[in-house]
Amino acid sequence: MANLYKKTTLNNGLRIITVPVKNANSVTVLILVGTGSKYETKDINGISHFLEHMFFKGTVKCPNTLKISETLDSVGGEYNAFTSKEVTGFWAKVDKKHSDVALDWISDIFLNSKFAGEEIQREKGVIIEEVNMYLDTPTAYIGDLWEKLLYGDQPAGWMTIGEKENIMSFNRKKVLDYYNSHYSSSNVIVCVAGAVEPKKIEKEIEGYFKDIKKGLAGKKIKVKEVQQEPKVLLHNKKTDQTHFCLGVRAYDLFDKRKYALALLSIILGGNMSSRLFIKVRERNGLAYSIHTSADNATDTGYLVTQAGIDHKNLEKSIELILQEYKDLKNNKITEKELQKAKDYVKGTTSLSLDSSDVQASFYAVQELLEKNILTPEEKFKKIDKVSIDDIKKVAEDIFLPEKLNLAVIGPVEQKDSARLKKLLKL
């Protein structure tokens, strides 16, 4: 799996990463921008995501959405964009013989979008419906409530999609102001992975992006984390299941303990033979879906278990999960468990890297957020070094009552808060 990537920085500051993949039939062109909802202020919360939508509304060459989508639809390509707290991305994936089409298309929407006023007005309705869809999907919305509980009223605690009042207030000036202050060559990476010839594609990218706006991009405020006791956030909604996130604050991207944290999350609830999957689903029949994951951002991190259960089983489920947290804190895992988790990470990573779009984001996201790229092999070496004692130390550090948080969506009342908080013991 020795794909050698190549990174080049142009004179204008734009970074290009090429990742040739042997025998690949596809090419993915990915543009990442170092901005997202953590870069916003309260009055424009949601604008990173709104702006991302506006890149698909028309350029001089492709004057409307139909022309834009038709270009890649007519060669069977896949394409989309996404916004997160710290990253905005645009991508196109095509059969290798259409790589020129993908590069031409993505550079056109990225550099030449018109951001027409009437399109901005129209898109408000689309995004309001996206918000509604999201609020109607507890499995998705619980993640936002979880981050709101952890970070409160600061950018890390706001919804990436924004609030409806904000969305309705956006106009062309606000959109352009944000674009001009956050989209510049120093903040952008173009990554091409798959069936590529690095020299040829670099030359083409350089041609397309020679006039990209230079300069420094806007900064984000560092996240403040304060917690002295367990915290609970309840959202009352008529649902068929109670959905909850239960977890703890943990480590950011630059903390070396993130590898032990990742393995710990897999042992807990990362797959179908994990402790919580067996205990909560298989042995007790309480949940169809239960999963634990670790999240690392540039200045925050957490470990969280998410599940959907029958309303009456909320307390029992919380108790079972906390038992496992406690067990990891008090007792060492086995060598077999550790090895299985390591092999799982390496196996799933290797399988996913068969795909050119995963290759592109694997390298580009590291460069953007960490300014340092590790190959899969280098990452695997770090994972291999994690010991049973490392896992125990991390468990002892994170599984403390004052780091515990519980977010719930379902027919819960505020008066339930004190009762649930009493369960949060370790």
Write the CB contacts of 357 (distance below 8 Å, at least 6 apart in sequence). Answer: 26, 28, 30, 78, 91, 93, 193
Helices marked H in 306-353:
314-330, 335-352
Taking the CA atoms of 417, 423, 425 and 426 in sequence, report the sign of the dihedral they define.
negative
Euclidean distance between CA atoms 294 and 38, whole angstroms: 19
Structure tokens at 336: 């077999």
Write the CB contacts of 256 (distance below 8 Å, at least 6 apart in sequence). Answer: none
Give the domain ranges of the chain. Answer: 6-208, 231-423
pLDDT on residue 85 = 97
Burial, 14: exposed, middle or buried (Cβ in 10 Å; 0-12, 13-18, 19+)?
Answer: buried
Query: Is 413 an active-site residue?
Result: no
pLDDT on residue 218 = 85
pLDDT on residue 3 = 57
Q: Shortest CA distance to 410 belongs to which of 176, 187, 242?
A: 242
pLDDT on residue 1 = 47
Q: Shortest CA distance to 110 belongs to which of 201, 167, 29?
A: 29
Indicate the CATH number for domain 231-423. 3.30.830.10
Euclidean distance between CA atoms 150 and 14, whole angstroms: 35
From the candidates 40, 52, 86, 147, give the one annotated as an active-site residue.
52
Residue 263 burial (CB count, 10 A): 25
pLDDT on residue 4 = 85
pLDDT on residue 215 = 83
The stretches in the chain having pLDDT less than 50 are 1
Beta bridge partners of 232: 406
Euclidean distance between CA atoms 231 and 414, whole angstroms: 13
Q: Shortest CA distance to 115 belongs to which of 33, 36, 173?
A: 173
The helix/strand/coil state of 6 is strand
Euclidean distance between CA atoms 193 and 362, whole angstroms: 10
Q: pTM for the full model?
A: 0.96
Asked whether the domain spanning 231-423 has the same topology as the one spanning 6-208, the reply is yes
Euclidean distance between CA atoms 332 and 313, whole angstroms: 29
Architecture of domain 6-208: 2-Layer Sandwich (3.30)
Euclidean distance between CA atoms 132 and 256, whole angstroms: 39
Residues 285/263, Cβ–Cβ less than 8 Å:
no
pLDDT on residue 98 = 97
